[in-house]
Structure 1
Amino acid sequence: MNRVIITNLNKHINKGVLIQGWVCRIRKLKSITFLILRDRSGLVQCVLDNALIDTNNLRLESVISISGKVTESKNKLNPFEVIVDNIEMINAVLEELPIEINKDKLDINLDTMLNNRVLSLRHEKKSSIFKIQNLIAQGFREFLIKNDFTEIFTPKIVAEGAEGGTEMFQLKYFENKAYLAQSPQFYKQMMVGSGFERVFEVGAVYRAEEHNTNRHLNEYISMDLEIGFIENEEELMNLEEEILKYILEKILNQGKKYLDILDISLPTIEKNIPRIKFKDAIEILRKKYNKTDLEGDLNPEGEKLICKYVKEELGCEFVFLTHYPRRKRPMYTMPLGNEETHSFDLLFRGLEITTGGKRIHDYDMLIENIKYKGLIPENYKNYTDTFKYGMPPHGGLAIGLERLTCQFLNIKNVREACAFPRDRTRLTP
C-alpha cells in the first residue's frame, strides 16, 4: 500500500490507508487511545483500540507507520480521523526530549530553541514561518522568470569585495587570499554586460559585521536582481512594487493555512509606495520627532520613526527613501550631482528590507568613483574591464529574505526567520 500524506486523507473517506510520520500527542483513555500523528502536511487524529493495540512503548516524536481506515469525524483538526488497524515502529525516540514541542505554544527562550533546532522546527508555528518563506522565494523567482529574467549562480569565494570596507570574512584559498562574497553585485553586472540583460539570484551572502542585534545575521539569503537598459531608478522601484504584490498574492493563495496558524494578516499594497528623498526624511525626523543626532544617516530608531510618519500621514507601511548621499553608497552607484545618488532603500514596518539603484555604466566614471571612495581601481580590474566592452545603462536591487519574512510575519528577531542562523556567536548547529 502506498503512503498517503495527511492533507490528502479527505480523498480516502471509508478507505484503507497507510500513513507515516511523528507521534505528536498521545491521550490514553480506558478503552481507546487518541494519537495525533504529524507529517509534512499537517496533523491527524488516530483512534486506537487498547484491547487490540499495545501503546505502552509509544513515545512522543517516534517515527511510526499506521495502517487504518479513514472515517468522517468532528474533531478540532479535521473533519475526519483514522481508525487504526496496525502500528509499526519505524524509529523510536531513544531518550527524553530536551524541549517540549507538543503544546500549542513553544514556551522556550531563543537560544534553547536554536540549540534544539531540528526539534523546534517540528512545531507548527515554527515550521509555518519557513513555509511562508518558501513562498516568498518562490514568488520572487516566478515573477522574474515570467518577465524574462535569467536565474544565475555566482561565486561565493571571491578575490575582492563588492561593497568595499572591511566587513568581509577572509579565508585561505590555497596560496592566495580570498573572501566570502558580500553580495553577487559584480557578477550581476557582468552578466548584464554579457548580454543576458535581465538576471537574478537567490543565494547566501556574508557580512563580517560585529553587530549582535535582532536585525543582523552574518550569513543571510539575498534575493538579487539586475536589469539592463533602464533610464532611471524609478523603473526599479516600480518593478519591486510589482514583485511584492505578486509575492503577497501568492502567500494569500497558497499559504492561508500557515497565516492562520501564525494568526497573521499580511500587509497590502493598494497604491504606489510613497517615495521620499533621503534629505527630506532627515528633515521630517528633525522637525516632527526632534531627532538631531542623525549626522546624515538613518539609525534604527530613525527608520522606525519615518515608517511611523508614513503610515500615519500617507496610510502605507512601506516607503522608498531615495537620493541617498554619495558618501553612503558603494562605488558602483550612479552619482546624482556631487552629493546624491540615483539610489534607494525600501523600508517596511520600521526596517530596511531592500537596497537598490542605478549603476555606473561608463568605464571612466566608474574608475573615478572608485578613487572617490578611497579604493584602488587596480584591485577591481576583473570587474572594471567589463565596462570597456559595451555596458548598457543598468540597475538592480537586493532584498533580504529573512528580514522580509520577519516583517511580513511580525517576528521580532531575524534569527527566528533562519533555520540555522549564523550570527556573531553562533556557528552551530
Structure 2
Amino acid sequence: MTTATTPLPRTLTRDLPQHDGQTVRLQGFVHARRDLGGVQFLVLRDVSGVTQCVGSGLSLPLPESSVEVVGRVKAHPKAPGGYEVGVESFRVISAAVEAPPVEIPKMEWNVNPETMLDYRVVTVRGLRERAALKVQAELVAAFRDHLMTEGFTEISTPKIVSAGAEGGANLFPIDYFGQAAYLAQSPQLYKQIMVGVFERVFEVAPVYRAEEHATSRHLNEYLSLDVEMGFIEDEEDVMALENRLLAAIMTRLRERAAAEFALLGATIPEVPAHIPRIPLLDARKLVTEKYGHAVGGKDLDPEAERLLSQHYAETEGSDFVFVTKYPRAARPFYAHPEVNADGSVNAEVTRGFDLLFRGIEITSGGQRIHDHAMLMDSVAAYKLSPESLEGYTEVFKYGMPPHGGFAIGAERLTARLLGIANVRYARAFPRDRHRLTP
C-alpha cells in the first residue's frame, strides 16, 4: 500500500516488461485519450516511449497535460510495447489550458509540414520528431567520445567575429558596441590556431550562413561538428580519421538508437574500412558518361552528387564516397595546393575533399596551408584584405605544423541517416530564410 510519505519510485514505460503483474507509478503526458462507455483509455507518453492505461470514472484532461498514473501492469499483445496498465489512481500534475493546435499522434499524415514548424514548441514532442533529435544527440555524443579516444581536445571558439572565415559575403552583420562584426560562419580559423596548442582539436557549436537559399538541404543556423589535426602527411590522414569516426558513430547508433531507427523505418549504414575516393574531375566525367548528366559550374551539382552516390552504392556497396582534388576556384583561400611527385606545387588543384553520403554532401575538408609565405600568396590571389585576416595569419609565423580537418553538418547527416526529406525537421527549432520563430 503506497502512502504520501512513501511513494512508489517512478517507472518508465520502456521498463514495464520488468514489472509484469506489479503496481507501478508512471508520470508523463496525455498523448491520446478515448472514452468508450465509461471506460477510459489513456495513452501516456514519457521520455522512453508510450503505454496504454485503462481505467473507469476518470476525468481525463486535455491532450499534452502532464499526469501521474498508479496501476498494475499486465501483458496485452495489442497495446503499445505489449503491456498496459490498469489504473488504480490518477492525478493531473499540470493541466493543459487549451487543446494543442495539432493532434500530435496524427500529425504525420494530416498536418501541413509548415504548420508543424509554426507550432514547433508542441509538435517537437511527437514520437518521430523527438526520435530524430535523439539520434542526433547520440551522433554528437559518439563524435565527442571517439575523438577523445584519439587524443583530441574539445575547444570553444568565438561566434562573434570581425571577419569571415572563408572570405565570402554570406555573413550576418551585427553591431558590436559601434563596431562592425559578424556571426561566425565557421570556427575554421580558430580551430587551426588551436592546432598550435593541442595539435588535435574539435568543436560542437552552431555556425551561421547568410545565404538566401530555400532548399531542403540548407539552414542559416546549423550545428557544425568541426575537427582539426596537426602533424599530418596529407589529406589522406584526415580522410582516414573521418572514416574511423563515422564507423564509431554508426556503432553507437546501433547500440543506443536502434528503436528510433526502427520507428522511422531507417537503416544504419555500414561504413567501409576504406571509403572509396574519386577526384572531382573524374567524378564529373563519370556522371556525364554513365548517366548522361552534364555538370555545370566548378563543383558537383545536387543531381551529380546523387548519381555519383548511386554509382558507388551499385558498384561497391558503399553509401559513402570521398570526392577529392578540388580545384582552387572551388575552395577557400586556406586550402593547401596539390604537391606533385617531383615536389612542385600545382596551384590550380587543392588537397580539399567532400564526403557524399546517400547522394548528398555531408562533409567538406582537406589539408590547410601551414606555410606563412604560401598563405599570404593565397590571400593575395583570392583578393582578400591581409589586414582583416591578420589575427589569423600571424600564427603561421610561428612554426605551424602540416594540418587539416573537416566539418560535418549534424542536421544534414541526421536527416540523411533517417530519410528525412527536409533538413529543417532534423533540428528542434530551425532557422532558415523565412523562419525566425519559434
Give the structure-1-normalised TM-score.
0.95
User: 1: CA distance between counterparts of 2:41 and 2:162?
Assistant: 59
| 1:325-379 Cα deviation digits (max 9, x unpaired) | 0111111110111210011000111111000100111111111111111112121
| 1:301-333 Cα deviation digits (max 9, x unpaired) | 221122122222332221100000011111111
| 1:272-316 Cα deviation digits (max 9, x unpaired) | 211000111122133223334514321112211221222223322
Cα RMSD (Å)? 1.6
Structure 2 residue 314 is the aligned partner of structure 1 residue 312: yes
User: 2: CA distance between counterparts of 1:8 and 1:285?
Assistant: 51
Q: Which residues of 2 match residues 239-388 of structure 1 at below 5 A? A: 239-336=241-338, 337-388=346-397
CA deviation after TM superposition for structure 1 residue 131, in Å: 1.0
CA deviation after TM superposition for structure 1 residue 149, in Å: 0.7
Where structure 1 has 5 or more consecutive residues not aligned to the other structure, the ranges are none
- 1:231 aligns with 233
Structure 2 residue 138 is the aligned partner of structure 1 residue 135: yes
Q: Secondary structure at the match of 1:320?
A: strand
| 1:390-411 Cα deviation digits (max 9, x unpaired) | 2111110001101101111111
- Select between 127-136 and 17-26 the one with higher mean Cα deviation: 17-26
User: 1: CA distance between counterparts of 2:90 and 2:38?
Assistant: 17
- 1:112 aligns with 115
Q: Which residues of 2 match residues 36-75 of structure 1 at below 5 A? A: 36-48=43-55, 50=56, 53-55=57-59, 57-75=60-78
- 2:161 aligns with 158
Q: Secondary structure at the match of 2:388?
A: helix
User: Structure 2: which amino acid aligns with 1:299?
Assistant: D
CA deviation after TM superposition for structure 1 residue 106, in Å: 4.2
User: 2: CA distance between counterparts of 1:291 and 1:265?
Assistant: 29
Q: Which residues of 2 match residues 92-241 of structure 1 at below 5 A? A: 92-103=95-106, 105-194=108-197, 196-241=198-243
Is the CA contact (8 Å cut-off) linking 2:10 and 2:24 kept in structure 1? yes
| 1:256-276 Cα deviation digits (max 9, x unpaired) | 111111111122124421100
Q: Which runs of 4+ in 1 moved over 6 A?
A: none
- 1:400 aligns with 409
Q: Secondary structure at the match of 1:251?
A: helix
Is the CA contact (8 Å cut-off) linking 2:65 and 2:94 kept in structure 1? yes
- Select between 261-270 and 329-338 the one with higher mean Cα deviation: 261-270
User: 2: CA distance between counterparts of 1:125 and 1:292?
Assistant: 38
CA deviation after TM superposition for structure 1 residue 93, in Å: 1.9
CA deviation after TM superposition for structure 1 residue 188, in Å: 0.5
Q: Secondary structure at the match of 1:243?
A: helix
- 1:420 aligns with 429
Q: Secondary structure at the match of 1:379?
A: coil
Is the CA contact (8 Å cut-off) linking 2:284 and 2:295 kept in structure 1? no
CA deviation after TM superposition for structure 1 residue 63, in Å: 1.2
Structure 2 residue 32 is the aligned partner of structure 1 residue 4: no
User: 1: CA distance between counterparts of 2:14 and 2:381?
Assistant: 59
After superposition, the Cα gap between the structure-2 partners of 1:27 and 1:152, relative to the gap in structure 1 and judged at 3 Å, is: same
User: 2: CA distance between counterparts of 1:291 and 1:75?
Assistant: 50
User: 1: CA distance between counterparts of 2:317 and 2:80?
Assistant: 38
User: 2: CA distance between counterparts of 1:102 and 1:349?
Assistant: 30
User: 1: CA distance between counterparts of 2:430 and 2:317?
Assistant: 34
User: Structure 1: which amino acid aligns with 2:48?
Assistant: S
- 1:389 aligns with 398
- What is the aligned counterpart of 2:30 among 23, 41, 47? 23
After superposition, the Cα gap between the structure-2 partners of 1:286 and 1:30, relative to the gap in structure 1 and judged at 3 Å, is: closer
User: 2: CA distance between counterparts of 1:199 and 1:16?
Assistant: 50
Q: Secondary structure at the match of 2:52?
A: strand
Q: Secondary structure at the match of 1:306?
A: helix
Is the CA contact (8 Å cut-off) linking 2:250 and 2:268 kept in structure 1? yes
